[in-house]
A and B are shown apart, each in its own frame.
Chain A
């Protein structure tokens, strides 16, 4: 158990709908990263938040957005869903060590199926 929790574990929805995925980082970690894992694209970085502020964006679609709340949990919002959005969505949390090194610990993921 990494200490990172994600809910829900599974999500089935229809095209055009909107869903929210939730992530709680390990106690004390200020950074949250979101990744998407799909068969054709592999593991891709989506977005990074640090202590409530967006730090970096990857290949995240405009239909997707995220935020990190004062209690440090994060939500990934996916809207106008398409079949191709079906994937496993991971969040990871990390704490910076001295020297700028960080290790990311991953949650169990949310498996999204868009029908």
Chain B
């Protein structure tokens, strides 16, 4: 069955420090992978996506993610976190019917 796992429910990072948020997926075919961010009381904003090609994907707001087929992972990274990055981050895989299958989300807290 298709699934997405985000092992870290909560991450706390100091402002200016680097971030890595993990995502593992289970999908039989070549996956389409996404990261979305949800700020409190807001909708989901697309950060970045992977369809094919270069496995290191650049997104908005300085985020990047690396697709590693051998590890079934698509981890999100940012070299230097800003206080405004505090939010909930969702990894998702696109299924063959088009629907997105989401992980449970990772809440990022940024310490001053």
Interface residues of A (CB under 8 A from B): 2, 31, 33, 35, 42-43, 45, 48, 55-56, 58, 90, 92, 94, 99, 101-109
Closest CB-CB distance, A62 to chain B, in whole Å?
19
Please measure, in the bound complex, the distance between the C-alpha atom of A31 and the C-alpha atom of B94, giving whole angstroms. Answer: 14
Which of B36, B46, B97 makes the CB contact (< 8 A) with A48?
A: B97
Beyond A42-B104, A103-B49, is A33–B98 a contact (Cβ under 8 Å)? yes
Distance to closest chain A CB from B15 (angstroms): 27
A109 to B44, CA, bound (A): 9
B94 to chain A: which residues have CB within 8 Å? 101-102
Contact with A along B68-93 (1 / 0, CB 8 A): 00000000000000000000001010
* Most chain B beta carbons < 10 A, residue from A58, A102, A104, A105: A104
Q: Chain A residues near B28 (CB, 8 Å)?
A: none
Q: Which single member of A42, A101, A108 contacts B42 (CB below 8 Å)? A: A108
Residues of A within 8 A of B43 (CB): 2, 90, 106-109
B42 and A104 form a contact (CB under 8 A): no
The distance from the CB of A96 to the nearest CB of chain B, in whole angstroms, is 9
Q: Which parts of B6-50 form the interface with A (CB within 8 Å)? A: 32, 34, 36, 42-46, 49
